[in-house]
Amino acid sequence: MKSFLLTCAFAIACLVAFSQSSPAAKVQQARTAQEMSAMSQHELALLEFRAEKLCWFEELKEENSSEWFTLSQRNGGVVDLTDEMVADFNPLLFNLPQQSVRCENLPVQTTSGKKYLLIVRSEEMMDKEWNRRELQNAKTRAK
DSSP string, 95-107: -----SSS-EEEE
Q: Where are the domains of the chain?
A: 2-142
How does DSSP classify residue 101?
A: S
Write the pLDDT tens digit of every residue in 38-74. Answer: 999 999 999 999 999 999 999 988 766 668 999 999 9
Dist CA 3 CA 140 (whole Å): 39
pLDDT in tens, 12-23: 444 444 445 788
In 3D, which of 71, 48, 68, 51 has the Cα closest to residue 60? 68
**Residue 115 forms beta bridges with which residues?**
109
Rounded to the nearest integer, the mean pLDDT of the chain is 86
Among 62, 138, 141, 60, smallest CA distance to 106 is for 60
Residue length of the chain = 143
